[in-house]
Amino acid sequence: LVPFFKTVALYFAVAVGRPPSWLPCLLKCLPVAFLGVFVVLHGISLGQERHSYSRRVLLGLCLSCVGDALLVWPWGFLPGMAAFALAHACYTAAFGLQPLRPWAGAACATLAAAAAALLLPGLWGVLVWAVPCYSLVLMVMVWRGVSRVRLFGDLWTWTRLCSCIGAVLFAVSDAMLALDAFYLSASPAYARHAVMFTYYAAQLGIALSVVDSRTMAALSVASEAPCRSAACCPGAQTPPPRLRQ
C-alpha cells in the first residue's frame, strides 16, 4: 500500500488544478492502479470460486481507472460516468445480496431520490436521465456495502467494515462532485481536494476488504449450510460405540 499513499500525495501536490493533459491523467489513475496491484498480490485466480470476490473488486478498480482517465477531459464526463457505473456494478456483485437488509435498501433509495430531485433543475439533455440512473446504481452499491457489516457473531471482521466505509465514502465523494457541477453557482475552495480525498479513501476501503475474503466466504458457507451432525439432526441414528476388545 506504500505506492498507493505516495502516488496520492504526488497527485495532490502536482496534478490538482492543472489543465487537462496526460500527466494529470496518469497521476490521477496511479493510486487506484496500485490498489489493483495490491489485490492481485494478495491472491487471485481466474477459475477458483474462493477468489471471486477479489476478481470482482479488481475489475471494479480497473473500470474506475478508466473512469478516472475519462473524467480528466470535459468531453469524457458521460463515458466516465458509465465506466464508474460499471465499477459500482462489479462492487455490488462482490458484496452480494445476503444478508438482504431491506431497511438499508430503503434508506439508500430515499437518498438517491432526494439527490435526483435536488440535482434535476441543473441537469440538461441526456444528463436528465443519466445522472439519476447513475445515482441509483451508486446507492445500490452503498446498500450492499452497508449490508455486509455484521456487528455480532463470528462473521464480524474489520474488512467488512472497510467495504462499508468505502461504499459510503464513494457516495459522499460523488455527492460533492455532483453538487459542485450541477447545483452550486461557484465552486468552494478546495472542493476538488475534498472530492478526491474521499474518493481515494473509498477505493482504499473497498480494496482492503479483499484481505480475508476467502476465509469469510468459507465461514459464510459453513454458517448457512444445514447441520448434518447427529447432535443437530434428531432423526439421525448414532452408531453404537466401539467396545474395547
Domain extent listing, the chain? 1-212
pLDDT > 90 in the chain, percent:
69
- Segment 94-117 shows an average pLDDT of 93
Is the confidence at residue 49, as pLDDT, over 90?
no
DSSP class of residue 44?
-
CA angle 186, 191, 195 (to 5 degrees): 135
Residues sharing a CB contact under 8 Å with residue 142, sequence separation 6 or more, in sequence order: 108, 167, 168, 170, 171
Mean pLDDT, the chain, rounded, equals 86
CB atoms within 10 A of CB 208: 22
HEC string for 50-70: HHHHHHHHHHHHHHHHHHHHH
Per-residue model confidence (pLDDT) at position 47: 60
| pLDDT band at residue 187 using 50, 70 and 90 as cut-offs | confident
C-alpha span between 233 and 245 (Å, rounded): 30
Question: Which of 155-159, 160-164, 231-235 ranks highest by mean pLDDT?
Answer: 160-164
Label residue 152 by pLDDT band (50, 70, 90).
low
**How much is the pLDDT for 236?**
44
Crossing angle for the helix pair 52-71 and 22-42, nearest 10 degrees? 180
Q: How confident is the model at residue 158 (pLDDT cuts 50, 70, 90)?
A: confident
Mean pLDDT of 122-139: 95
* Reported confidence tier of residue 26, pLDDT bands at 50, 70, 90: very high
190 sits in the region (left: phi over 0; alpha: psi -120 to 50; else beta) called: left
pTM of the entire structure? 0.84
Q: Extract the runs of DSSP E, i.e. beta strands, from the chain.
A: none
Contact (Cβ atoms closer than 8 angstroms) between residue 221 and residue 202: no
